[in-house]
């Protein structure tokens, strides 16, 4: 198995990006990082709403409600599919990639990635964090809608299948990254996990 894609799934403020950055420092070759936050940042200003229904329909369709829940419309799903296809093309062109995502649709989100990454060796990693700890991180960050971390902490994992799970509640990102890098190395050498 030659893992060329590592997909990290976890709720907001679970530590995925910190883990991914630590991974980039540990893996023996350069890996690119593509995160859902980058896709969201690339949307036009009208691409995100602040309440139910504000972004659905003809716009990109990503709604951030006041309570922290996120709803996704068809417009956003179309852009997300194009982004995933681009990530897959990057891997097929020779660059290994770490994907930092939030599976709001649980197994349906994972299936969309499975389809985009068909034929590639993928490591599926669940990044868990206790909801109370994720909420504390969310408050400390100050750049997230309050409630998002608690809403996503458990639900993004329901029905999703992983090769490896890490818990960042009390384990530093670099230690979680070491576990992921070890898994990649063992897979490449044919060793047992």
Q: Note the pLDDT tens digit of each residue in 120-147.
A: 999 999 999 999 999 999 999 877 788 8
Mean pLDDT of 164-190: 95
Residue 46 has pLDDT above 90, yes or no: no
Across the chain, mean pLDDT equals 89
Mean pLDDT of 40-55: 60
Q: What is the pLDDT of residues 7-36, one digit of tens each?
A: 999 999 999 999 999 999 999 999 999 999
C-alpha–C-alpha distance, residues 31 and 23, integer Å: 9
Cα-based distances in Å from 154 to 11, 127, 131: 8, 10, 8
**CA 117, 163, 166, 134 torsion: positive or negative?**
positive
Burial 26-39 (b: 16+ CB within 10 A, else e): ebeeebebbbbeeb
Q: How many CA atoms lie within 13 A of 96 on its CB side?
A: 17
Q: What angle do CA 72, 76, 77 make, to 5 degrees?
A: 85
Please provide the CATH number assigned to the domain covering 5-44+83-189.
3.40.50.300
* Higher pLDDT, residue 47 or 80: 80
Query: CB of 108 within 8 A of CB of 9?
Result: no
* Higher pLDDT, residue 65 or 168: 168
Q: Is 37 a catalytic residue?
A: yes
Q: What is the pLDDT of residues 86-102, one digit of tens each?
A: 999 999 999 999 999 99
Choosing from 37, 121, 130, 167, the catalytic residue is: 37
Cα-based distances in Å from 78 to 87, 112, 150, 156: 14, 11, 27, 20
Q: How many CA atoms lie within 13 A of 74 on its CB side?
A: 2
């Amino acid at each position: 198995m030659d893992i060329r894609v590592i997909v990290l799934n976890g709720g907001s403020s679970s530590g995925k990006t910190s883990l991914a950055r630590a991974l980039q420092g540990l893996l023996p070759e350069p890996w690119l990082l593509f995160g859902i936050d980058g896709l969201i940042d690339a949307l036009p200003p009208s691409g995100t709403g602040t309440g139910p229904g504000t972004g659905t329909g003809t716009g990109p369709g990503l709604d951030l409600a006041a309570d922290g829940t996120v709803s996704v419309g068809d417009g956003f799903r179309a852009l997300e599919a194009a982004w995933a296809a681009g990530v897959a093309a990057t891997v097929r062109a020779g660059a290994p990639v770490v994907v930092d995502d939030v599976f709001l649709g649980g197994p349906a989100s994972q299936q969309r990635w499975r389809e985009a990454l068909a034929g590639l060796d993928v490591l599926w990693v669940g990044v868990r964090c206790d909801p109370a700890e994720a909420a504390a991180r969310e408050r400390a960050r100050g750049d997230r809608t309050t409630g998002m971390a608690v809403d996503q902490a458990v639900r993004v994992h329901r029905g999703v299948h992983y090769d490896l799970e890490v818990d960042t509640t009390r384990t530093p990102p670099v230690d979680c990254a070491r576990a992921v890098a070890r898994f990649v190395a063992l897979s490449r050498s044919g060793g047992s996990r």
